[in-house]
Amino acid sequence: MQARLTATDLACMRGDRLLFRGLSLALGSGDVLHVTGENGTGKTSLLRILAGLLSPYAGEVSHDGAIGMLDERPALDPDQPLGIALRFWQQVDGCSDPEAALAAMELDALLDVPVRYLSTGQRKRAAMARLLCQNAPIWLLDEPLSGLDDRSQARIGETVSAHAAAGGIVVLASHQPIAVERLSVFALAEYVA
């Protein structure tokens, strides 16, 4: 899997407040970048800019490879059992091995539970299973460990490491440390306006 993600001289404005400026990065296959910073410094905004969901105030982003994003909205129908909600996205995304994604996130026992009854951590693992099925080489993860117990945090770290080892790119924003091989830390505070 070959991938590339580049940002050049990015600036982000939210309302009348400049969050960051002069931010550049260049990531290639196998890179994992941990974006750190205080609340309100623009970590989520940066991920949304990289995903093309938010226009930068200045600068540009380019990439080779599809982008998959995990954030606080898992995009799973809350009224459907988890298995049906995930199956919908597996069909849309053309998932080649849905059973592997379910096993990787330990979701088999929850497939009959309506999404609305899942805990925060269970919904986060379900969103990660959906991301695994997207076959996107570039992953943007916003607080991927939030609401997870220690075992699930370790599983996410292993999954991120495996994705990078297979040539993927991961950019994650988190207040929590994550055990991932080849992890580089990117302090957003250095670019705060």
Q: Which residues pair with 36 in a beta bridge?
A: 187
The CATH number covering residue 72 comes to: 3.40.50.300
Residue 79 gets the label, from left (phi > 0), alpha (psi -120 to 50) or beta, of alpha
From residue 105, alpha-carbon distances to 102, 124, 192 in Å are: 5, 9, 35
pTM: 0.92
Q: Are 130 and 75 in contact (CB under 8 A)?
A: yes
Q: What is the pLDDT of residues 140-161, one digit of tens each?
A: 999 999 889 999 999 999 999 9
The single-letter DSSP state of residue 162 is H
Number of domains in the chain: 1
The reported pLDDT for the residue numbered 193 is: 63
- Sign of the alpha-carbon dihedral angle for 62, 11, 27, 150: negative
Structural domain boundaries, residue 157: 4-191
Between the alpha carbon of residue 51 and those of residues 6, 15, 111, 138, 170, the distances in Å are: 11, 20, 29, 9, 12
